[in-house]
Amino acid sequence: MARAADVHLCVKVAKEACPLGLAPTSSTTATLVMGDALAVALLKARGFTAEDFALSHPGGALGRKLLLRVNDIMHTGDEIPHVKKTASLRDALLEVTRKNLGMTVICDDNMMIEGIFTDGDLRRVFDMGVDVRQLSIADVMTPGGIRVRPGILAVEALNLMQSRHITSVMVADGDHLLGVLHMHDLLRAGVV
């Protein structure tokens, strides 16, 4: 076979490592090393990128990390926890528990974001020692809030969430609420 080839790369070994001389050990290792070296050389020669690899293996872990976008896995429509700024804290808490994402977005009738209320905010409210039955969500919400665009990579959203120590993030086009992404969504999708 070597004589018929244009190029012959010899991976011959003097002796196998198997003490019985039965199992191919050193030769399989040498062949594996040669294959890896050729693969790396071809990657460099052809300018093959991680994105190219992901497109060739979209179902694999790397493919998911490089192809999956926030809008592929975010909660939308009725799954989005949201209340109006005029809601009581009690009603906001009911929405948090109903939607089970650990937060609710405060927005107007046009889904324009005014703020966010999270389970962390609730702990801070209890630490203040006030009568929670008398509060409106406007009294305790965090104005604005962290958000991501729907078209960014899910792994980018994960990095943001990890760096900010948050478990969910609003997905928006400017101030217009489009969805919510929770850390569990990233886990289910295999991004984490």
Kindly report, residue by residue over 12-31, the tens digit of the pLDDT: 888 888 888 778 888 888 88
- Which one has a higher pLDDT value, 13 or 163? 163
Is residue 60 over pLDDT 70?
no
Quick one: tokens of 125? 């409210």
Q: What is the pLDDT at residue 150?
A: 98
The amino acid at 29 = T
Count of residues making up the chain: 192
pLDDT tens by residue, 106-145: 999 999 999 999 999 999 998 988 888 889 999 999 999 9
Quick one: tokens of 159? 């990095």
State mean pLDDT over 76-85. Answer: 98
Please report, for the chain, the start and end positions of each structural domain, with discontinuous segments joined by +.
Answer: 1-48, 70-188
Quick one: tokens of 115? 């703020």
* Euclidean distance between CA atoms 78 and 180, whole angstroms: 11
Residue pair 182/75 in contact by the 8 Å Cβ criterion: yes
Is residue 55 over pLDDT 80?
no
Choosing among 3.40.50.300, 3.10.580.10, 3.40.50.150, 3.20.20.70, the CATH entry for 70-188 is 3.10.580.10
Query: Hey, is 172 helix, strand or coil?
Result: strand
Residue pair 76/177 in contact by the 8 Å Cβ criterion: no
Instruction: Please report how many Cα atoms fall inside a 13 Å half-sphere around the Cα of residue 152, on the Cβ side.
Output: 16
Instruction: Give the closest residue to 153 by CA, choosing from 54, 43, 49.
Output: 54
Q: What is the pLDDT at residue 5?
A: 84
The pLDDT-based confidence of 92 (bands split at 50, 70, 90) is very high
What does pLDDT average to over the chain?
Answer: 90
**Strands 103-107 and 113-118, sheet pairing:** antiparallel
Q: What is the pLDDT at residue 58?
A: 59
- The share of the chain scoring above pLDDT 90, in percent, equals 59
State mean pLDDT over 90-100. Answer: 96
Is residue 57 over pLDDT 70?
no
Q: What is the pLDDT at residue 73?
A: 97
State mean pLDDT over 162-166. Answer: 97
Helices (H) and strands (E) in the chain, counts: 9, 7
Backbone CA torsion sign across 68, 71, 75, 81: positive
